[in-house]
């Protein structure tokens, strides 16, 4: 098997571990005495609903909200498509109907919540007395204020009728099993899609304090709401006593699957991190440094080996090229390796790196030479953030189509 083929096999193993069609069935609860209602939202929720219908023994009903274009054919579960990342009325209406469906359930009923990244925007339903415009005004002010993402989420949760455990609380007294796909560093359930089934430790008073800290003057309705609201249910709220959150896919699980596949191929894997961050081109330079250490000193492990990592790097856009963080990482890695005998793959597990329907690409020792033969100057292509253009010209793109799941980026650096 060629190095490129092995790398593609590792990526396919990572994708399979994150694909509801392959693994959701392993995480299902027993069917209940009463009804089974399906709810949830996120970029993978339709794919999860489809897998659930295929695996479930018994009647199902319910509704999930996914992104436009991410629907899957379902028989009993309604699929609503809505806007992401900026919420729209379709998502709001879907979320409202979802809450109606879970009201009036009994102890014999079961709610299966299908939660994945993007669910926060797709299920944007303001608490009673608030409008989407109120929430958006606060949101915009927070984004401008320099508040941390953690602080923003505290405020957002206390203005929502769904987030921070409210969806699960609305299901009481039914049993709730949430199946979650994580695309966030740390995999904290309360952070994935803002935790519709996860109790929240913060209070409305905390939200008020954060707004004050950043001198944000919220709309009148928001201020009044935070004053009188009981807030999200706490983690120990009795309304959440019958809620269970199950992580069914996460970056680490996909990296472990790739590691097993590498081992079976006789290549020693090392997982460096499931949530590596940093500017893509600099992450590429660091990874090249580690690969060179393998070549020169057999450290941190001897050849043949593969360095695996996940997470989400960032691209500071400087040029006018067609790019994405994975191809930017790869182009920088190739330049730093300068023809050294190292191969790599880097892809977004949702199948879309940046704005193109291309998951990523592969590189090898001949990448730079072939590029120069094709009239490309690699450093210039990197300077204009033209990763997709670069790898398209070489025929080294990795195309999967939309995978309808997302456990963030996948990187494998192979030193054969």
Which residue has 């060629």 as its token pair?
Answer: 2
* Least separation in angstroms between CB 147 and a second copy: 12
Strands 343-348 and 61-67: unpaired
Tell me the C-alpha distance between 178 and 197, whole Å: 7
Nearer to a second copy, 46 or 307 (CB): 307
Would you say 103 or 316 has its CB closer to a second copy? 316
- Compute the least distance from the CB of residue 209 to a second copy, in Å: 16
CB of 227 to a second copy, least distance (A): 29
Q: Least distance (Å) from a second copy to the CB of residue 305?
A: 11
CB of 298 to a second copy, least distance (A): 10
Q: Which is nearer to a second copy, 66 or 280 (CB)?
A: 280
Q: Whose CA is closest to 247, among 20, 60, 70?
A: 20
Per the CB < 8 A criterion, the answer to whether 261 and 13 are in contact is: yes
> Which of 309, 403 has the CB closer to a second copy?
309
Q: How far is the CB of 299 from a second copy (least distance, A)?
A: 5
Q: State which residue, 219 or 341, has the beta carbon closest to a second copy.
A: 341
Q: Judged by CB, which is closer to a second copy: 126, or 311?
A: 311
Q: 241: which 2 tokens?
A: 């006593």
Give whichever of 28 and 285 is closer to a second copy, judged by the CB atom.
285
φ, ψ for residue 86 (rounded to 5)? Answer: -90, 120
C-beta of residue 173 within 8 angstroms of C-beta of residue 191: no
Q: Buried (b) or exposed (e) across 138-150, using 16+ Cβ within 10 A?
A: bbebbeebebeee
Contact residues: a second copy, CB under 8 A? 185-186, 252, 270-279, 282-283, 285-286, 289-290, 292-293, 296-297, 299-300, 309, 311, 336
The least CB distance from residue 206 to a second copy, in Å, is 18
What strands lie across the sheet with 110-116, from one edge to the other?
Answer: 77-82, 61-67, 36-41, 110-116, 175-181, 243-249
Measure the CA–CA gap between 183 and 193, rounded to whole angstroms: 9
- Residue ranges in 245-324 assigned as alpha helix (H): 251-264, 280-297
Cα(124)–Cα(89) distance, integer angstroms: 9
Nearer to a second copy, 61 or 338 (CB): 338
CB of 143 to a second copy, least distance (A): 16
Strand 36-41 and strand 61-67: pairing?
A: parallel
Minimum CB separation of residue 379 from a second copy in Å reads 8
Q: Distance between CA 316 and CA 318 in Å, rounded? A: 6
- The residue among 10 and 63 lying less far from a second copy, judged by its C-beta, is 10
Q: 150, 147, 216: which is closest to 185 by C-alpha?
A: 150
According to DSSP, the β-strands at 409-415 and 36-41 are unpaired
Instruction: Determine the length of the chain.
Output: 416
Q: Which is nearer to a second copy, 49 or 275 (CB)?
A: 275
Sign of CA dihedral 222, 225, 227, 233: negative
CA-closest candidate to residue 358, choices 339, 386, 320: 386
Query: Could you tell me how many helices (H) and strands (E) the chain has, helices first?
Result: 16, 12
Query: Least distance to a second copy from the beta carbon of 294, Å?
Result: 9
């Amino acid at each position: 098997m060629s190095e490129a083929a092995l790398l593609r096999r590792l990526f396919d193993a990572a994708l399979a571990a994150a694909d509801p069609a392959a693994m959701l069935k392993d995480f299902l609860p027993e069917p209940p005495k009463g009804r089974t209602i399906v709810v949830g939202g996120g970029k993978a929720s339709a794919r999860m609903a489809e897998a659930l219908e295929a695996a479930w023994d018994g009647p199902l009903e319910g509704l999930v909200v996914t992104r436009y274009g991410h629907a899957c054919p379902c028989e009993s579960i309604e699929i609503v498509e809505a806007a992401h990342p900026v919420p729209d009325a379709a998502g709001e209406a879907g979320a409202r109907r979802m809450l109606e469906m879970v009201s009036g359930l009994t102890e014999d009923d079961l709610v299966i919540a299908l939660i994945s990244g993007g669910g926060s925007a797709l299920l944007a339903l303001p608490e009673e007395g608030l409008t989407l415009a109120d929430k958006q005004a606060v949101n915009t002010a927070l984004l401008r204020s320099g508040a941390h993402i953690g602080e923003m989420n505290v405020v957002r949760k206390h203005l929502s009728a769904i987030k921070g455990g409210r969806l699960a609380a609305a299901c009481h007294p039914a049993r709730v099993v949430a199946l979650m796909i994580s695309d966030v560093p740390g995999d904290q359930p309360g952070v994935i899609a803002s935790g519709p089934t996860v109790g929240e430790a913060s209070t409305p008073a905390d939200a008020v304090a954060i707004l004050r800290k950043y001198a944000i003057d919220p709309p009148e309705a928001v201020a009044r709401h935070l004053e009188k609201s009981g807030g999200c249910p706490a983690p120990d709220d009795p309304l959440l006593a019958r809620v269970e959150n199950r992580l069914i896919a996460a970056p680490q699980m996909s990296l472990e699957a790739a590691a097993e596949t590498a081992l079976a191929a006789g290549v020693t894997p090392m997982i460096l991190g499931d949530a590596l961050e940093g500017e893509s081109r600099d992450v590429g330079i660091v990874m090249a440094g580690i690969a060179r250490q393998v070549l020169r000193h057999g450290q941190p492990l001897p050849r043949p080996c593969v360095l695996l990592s996940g997470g989400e790097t960032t691209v500071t856009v400087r040029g006018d090229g067609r790019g994405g963080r994975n191809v930017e990482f790869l182009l920088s890695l190739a330049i730093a390796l300068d023809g050294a005998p190292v191969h790599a793959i880097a892809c977004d597990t949702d199948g879309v790196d940046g704005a193109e329907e291309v998951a990523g690409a592969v590189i090898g020792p001949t990448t730079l030479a072939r590029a120069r033969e094709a009239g490309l100057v690699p450093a210039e292509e990197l300077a204009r953030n033209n990763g997709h253009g670069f790898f398209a010209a070489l025929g080294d793109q990795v195309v999967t189509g939309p995978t309808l799941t997302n456990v963030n980026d996948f990187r494998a650096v192979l030193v054969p």
